Chain A
Amino acid sequence: MARVLPKKDAVIIGLGWTGSILAQQLTDAGLNVVAIERGPWRDTSTDFNIAYMQDELRYAIRKDLFLKPSTEAMTMRNNAGQTALPMRDYGSFLPGDGVGGAGVHWNGHTWRFWESDFQIKTHLTQRYGAAKIKGLQLQDWGPTWAEIEPSFDAFEYLCGVSGKAGNIKGQIQPGGNPFESPRSREYPNPPMKMPYASTLFAEKMRELGFHPFPLPSSNLSRAYVNPLGVRMGECSYCGFCERFACGNYSKASAQTTILPVLMKKPNFELRTECEVLKVNLTPDGKMAKSVTYIDAHGVEVEQPGDMVLICAYALMNVRMMLLSKIGTQYDPVTGNGTVGRNYCYQTSAGARLMFEGKHFNPFIGAGSLGQTIDDFQGDGFDHSKLNFVGGAGISCSVTNGRPITNRPTAPGSPRWGKGWKQATVDGYNNSMGFGSQGSSYPVRENYLDLDPTYTDRHGRPLLRITFDFPDNDVAMSNYLSEQLEKMTKPFNAKYAAVARLRKGWNSVPYQSTHNTGGAIMGNDPKTSALNKYLQSWDVPNVFVIGASAFAHNAGMNPTGTVGALAFWAAEAITTKYIKSPGALVHA
C-alpha cells in the first residue's frame, strides 16, 4: 500500500522546459506545486563543470546525459503488419533525463511555428482545395496567431534568444526572415557572430535570390538578464552544445533561466529520482486525484493533487496518458480514439561540400550558430504544381569540429589506416554542409500505443511507435534535395554530395529528437486528446504539455513552440482554470 502524502494544488510530472515554466507560472499565481522528476538533480557548476564538459567520448558517444533504455525503452516498427521490437539503445532520437530534461542537451534552435501551421487545414484547404491534402490527417491546432504570439515572445525573452526579426507587426525587416509570422518585437539579443561556412552560405543564397537570415539561437550572443532577473553569459563558441550541457551559462535551459528563482520559492517542491508510475483517476475516470510514484528508496508513494500536469518528454507524455487511461487509445483502422494520434517526426536531408585550401575552422561552433533560408519552408512557396505539401528550412550551421565524430573525408578516400587519417586531416578544414529539416505530416497509419509484449522494470508496457515516412513527406524531402543540389553549384566545390531520404525509417542512426504528436491539441474531442489550452478533453484537471500536443510537425526545431505552448497553457490555468476549475472548452 502506497504511502499517501498531503495534497498539493498541482502535481507536475517531469521538470524539464515545460514543467519548469508551468511551475514558475503556477507558483507565481500562489499555488502549491510539487514537481516529480524521474532523473537526478543537475546544476551548471556542479554537474556541467566547464573544466570537463568538453568530453566527447563521455557525453556524445557514451551519451552520459541521456535517458538509458534500462530506465525506459520503446519498441518500434514501420507498419502495423510488423511485430515491433524494443530499441536496445537510443539511436534515431535521444530523450533527455533528469532536471532540465532534453532542454539541457539541446542545440538551442528557437523557432516559431507559423500562423499557417496553427491553422494548417484551413489554410491549405483555402489555398489549394481539400483534395490537395487528402490522405493527410492535417488539422488546425486551436489557438489563433494573435492568441499564441505573446507566448512565443515570453519564451524568447526568457531564453534571451539571439536573432534578427524578419517581420515586426507586419513590417518586413531587412536581414531577418521575411517568411515568419508577425512578431510583436525584436529578439532580445542580436544574432551571433557568424563563422565562415555560414557566411559563405548566406552569400551564395543571396546570389541565388533567396533570403538568408541568422538562425534564431538560444546560445547567447551577449550576456543577458532575463525577465526573472536570472543572468546568462555570452556563448564562447566552444562547439560542445548538442549532446552536452553548457558549462558557460550561455545556453538557455531550465537551469540557466528559471530554476534559480523557482527553487527558492516556499510554495514549490522538487522531488528527484522519483518515477511516476501513473496518474490515478476517480472511480468514474473523470478526474485525476493523485499520482503514484516510486521514490529514490524504492518506496511507493501517492501524491494527491487538485491538478496534474504531465510535462515529460513528448513520447512519455503519451505513454503516461495511456497507462493512466486518460482519454481513449487511437485506432488506426477505425480512426477512433485520440491518444496516440498524429505521431510525427522530422524529414531531413543534407548536402556536404569539400574544397581545397579552405579554412572553415569548424571548431568555432555552437549549437545553433548559422544561417537559414525559409524560401522552401512550410507553405512559404507555391505547392499548386507540386505533388506534396509542407517544406523545410535549409540551414548551414556550424555546430562543432569535435575530434571523434567530425572527420569528413572526400569521396573515395580510404576508410581506415594511414590513408584515412590523411583524408581526415585534408577534410577537416575543407568541408562544410547545409541541410534541409523538413516537415512531418500526420497520416492515419503512423501512431503510438502500448506494446503488447515488452514491459519496463516496473512491469508496465513500453510505448510502441509505428512509423514510416509518408509518401507526401518523402516527395517533399526529395524535392528539397533537388533544391539542395542546385544550391551546391555556385560554391564550385571540389566535391558535392546530396543525400536523399528514402522510405523505411530506421531507428539506429541518429536523425532527430523531434518526436511530436500523440496527445494533440485541437478543436474537436473526436480528433484531439486535448483542447486548445492543452487540457485533456476527458479528464479536465489534467493538462499535457509538450511537443506531444503538436498536431503536425513543421520543418523547424520544436522547442520554441514547446516553450510557447507551456506559457500558453500556464496562462489558461492561471487566468481561467484556477478561477473556475473544469473544462475550459465545451465541445
Chain B
Amino acid sequence: MRRFLFVSVFIALSSPAFAANTGAGKYQVILGDCEGCHGKNLAGGVTLETPFGKMVTPNITPDKETGIGNYTAEQFKLAMKRGVAPGGRRLYPAMPYPYYAHMPDQDIAAMWDYILTVKPVKNRVNVNQLRFPYNLRVLMRGWNFLFFKPQPIANASKNADWNRGAYLVNGPGHCGACHSPKNAFGADKGVLIGTSLQGWYAPDLTGDHGAGLGSWSNSDIVEYLETGRNAHSLASGPMAEAVENSTSQMTDADLISMAVYLKDLAPGKGNGGGATGVDAQMKAGAVAYDISCAACHGRDGKGSAIFPPLAGNASIRQVRADTVVRMVLAGGKAVSTPKAPTGPGMPSFGWRLTDEQVANILTYVRNNWGNEAPAISSETVKRIRSALHSSS
C-alpha cells in the first residue's frame, strides 16, 4: 500500500544496542505494514502519488549512511508517534503517525529492536519531491496543530475483541489511511466509508449492505484478510499488497478481532443507489459482457473457484468507478498468499474496448444479479483512461 511517505533527512546520532525482542517487533512491523510503503527490504524508494505531488519513501533499514541506523530508540519513537524526526524535522502524515500514535511504547520499542536486525541496505533516496508549497515541512507544524488530535480508541462498553479490533484498525493497521476520505489538507474526515486514492477506490468498510461489508460474515472478513479471497471478492491492487505484507501474516485472534470491530461499524453514506433510465446501456452492456467477460466470471456473474464473482461483490458497487474501470482497462493481479497461492490475473481490455463499451459493461455489471450502483458514463471511463496513460 503505497500511500504514505516518511519524509525526513537523517542526522548521525548514537545508536544504542537493544536486547533481542525481534519476534515481537517483527509482528509489530507486520501490523503496521511497514513493507507496504518502504518495500520488502524496508529500503524505501517507493514512489507514492498524492494530491500534493510525488513522495518517495525513505530507507528505514539500519544502514547508518542512507537508512535510520543512527536513530536512537527515543528518536524512532518520536518519529512513529509524533511525526518528528531527529533535529525536529516534521514528517508528512503520509507516514501514518496519527495512527501509530496509538501504539504503546513497548510495541514501538520492539519494532525498533527488530528494525535493527534487518539487513542494512545502502539506498539513498531523494524523498522530498512535493510541489510548492507542500515541500515546506514547516507547514506541518500548523497541520499538526489543526488535525493531529489522537482520540482514545478504547470503549469500555465493548468486549475485548472489539477493543483489540478497534486498536488494530485505527492504530497500527492504519486502515483509514486508505479507506477514509481526506479533507483538503489530507486529514481524515469520515471513518472508513471509502474513498479514491492513487487511481483506485478503497471500498466502504462500514456495515452498508450495498457498498460496505453489511453482507459479509465475520468469517468472510477473516478469510479475506488471511487469504486475500473469499466467496465475495478477491484482493488486487493496493489491498493485495496489504494482504500479502500484513493481514495474511496476522494471528487468527487479531483477524477475528478486526472482523468484530468492522462488523460493528454503522452503515456509511451508501453508494447512491442503482442506475435508472439506462436501458440502452444495460442492453449493450449485456451483449458486450457475454462476449468479453462471461467466460471467466460466468453469465450468472457468480465467478468460480478461481475467478471472483461480480454478483454481490462490494468492490463492484462502490460509489465511484475508479477501481472497476481501472481493472477493465489495465487489468490487475490478485494477491497470492500461502493459503490462496494462485494470484490469478485480470487481463487488460483497454486496447480492445471503447470507453462506451466499458461504461456499458460496467453499468450492466453494477446493476445486474442483485447489484445496485450508479451508472458509469463513457466520460468517466475516458477520464480514467487518460489518467492511467499519464501515470504509466
Contacts and interface: CB of A to CB of B under 8 A. Distances in A.
Partners in one complex: yes
Interface of A: 43-46, 49-52, 222-225, 228-234, 236, 238, 247-249, 260-261, 264
A232 B345 CA distance: 12
Nearest to B349: A51
Interface string B264-294: 0000000000000000000000000000100
Contacts of B336: 260, 264
Given A230-B341, A231-B305, A45 B352 contact: no
A260 B342 contact: yes
Contacts, number: 69
Interface string B328-361: 0001010010011111111111011000000000
A233 B347 CA distance: 15
Interface string B293-306: 00110000000111
B304 A234 contact: yes
A52 B352 CA distance: 9
A229 B340 contact: yes
B307 interface: yes
B343 A260 contact: yes
A248 B344 CA distance: 10
Contact of A229 (B307, B341, B344, B351): B341
A261 B336 CA distance: 9
Contacts of B296: 50, 233, 248-249
A364 to B, nearest CB: 13
A233 B345 contact: no
Nearest to A247: B347
A249 B328 CA distance: 18
Given A45-B345, A231-B305, A231-B344, A51 B339 contact: no
Contacts of B351: 51-52
Interface footprint category on B: 20 to 34
A261 B305 contact: no
A208 B71 CA distance: 85
A232 B342 CA distance: 8
B352 A229 contact: no
A45 B342 contact: no
Contacts of A45: 331, 333, 344-347
Contacts of B307: 233, 249
A249 B303 CA distance: 13
Given A224-B305, A264-B336, A231 B342 contact: yes
B237 to A, nearest CB: 14
A535 B348 CA distance: 44
B329 to A, nearest CB: 11
Given A45-B333, A45-B347, A247-B347, A236 B340 contact: no
A44 B296 CA distance: 13
A249 B333 CA distance: 13
23 contacts: A44-B344, A45-B345, A45-B347, A49-B331, A49-B347, A50-B295, A50-B296, A50-B347, A51-B292, A51-B347, A51-B349, A223-B305, A224-B305, A228-B341, A229-B340, A231-B344, A233-B304, A234-B304, A236-B295, A238-B295, A247-B347, A249-B344, A264-B341
Contact of A231 (B306, B333, B346, B348): B306
A248 B345 contact: no
A382 to B, nearest CB: 46
Given A43-B345, A51-B347, A260-B341, A249 B306 contact: yes
Given A46-B347, A264-B341, 4 more contacts: A45-B346, A46-B345, A231-B305, A238-B295
B228 to A, nearest CB: 12
A233 B297 CA distance: 10
Given A260-B342, A261-B341, A264-B341, A51 B295 contact: no
Contacts of A52: 351-352
A248 B341 contact: no
Contacts of B306: 223, 231-233, 249
Contacts of B304: 222-223, 233-234
Nearest to B350: A51
Contacts of B344: 44-45, 231, 249
Contacts of A248: 295-296
A246 B306 CA distance: 14
A222 B349 CA distance: 25
Contacts of B348: 49, 51
Interface in B345-388: 345-349, 351-352
B251 to A, nearest CB: 21
Most buried by B among A43, A233, A248: A233
A226 to B, nearest CB: 10
10 nearest interchain CB pairs?
A45-B345, A223-B305, A223-B304, A231-B306, A49-B347, A236-B295, A231-B342, A260-B341, A45-B347, A233-B306
Contacts of A261: 341
A250 to B, nearest CB: 9
Contacts of A49: 331, 347-348
Contacts of A238: 295
A159 to B, nearest CB: 15
A45 B344 CA distance: 7
Contacts of B340: 229, 231
Contacts of B346: 45
Nearest to A234: B304
Contacts of A233: 296, 304-307
A529 B384 CA distance: 60
A22 B82 CA distance: 52
B175 to A, nearest CB: 25
Contacts of B343: 260
B231 to A, nearest CB: 13
Contacts of A222: 304
Nearest to A230: B342
Contacts of B347: 45-46, 49-51, 247
A223 B306 CA distance: 7
A43 B342 CA distance: 12
Nearest to A261: B341
A229 B339 contact: yes
Nearest to B345: A45
Nearest to A229: B341
Contacts of B345: 43-46
Contacts of A229: 339-342
Contacts of B333: 45
Nearest to A224: B305
Nearest to A257: B342
Contacts of B339: 229
Contacts of A46: 331, 345, 347
A568 B11 CA distance: 59
B6 to A, nearest CB: 27
A522 B41 CA distance: 49
Interface string B219-250: 00000000000000000000000000000000
B305 A225 contact: yes
A255 to B, nearest CB: 10
B305 A51 contact: no
A125 to B, nearest CB: 48
A231 to B, nearest CB: 4
Nearest to B339: A229
A20 to B, nearest CB: 14
A228 B340 CA distance: 9
A221 to B, nearest CB: 12
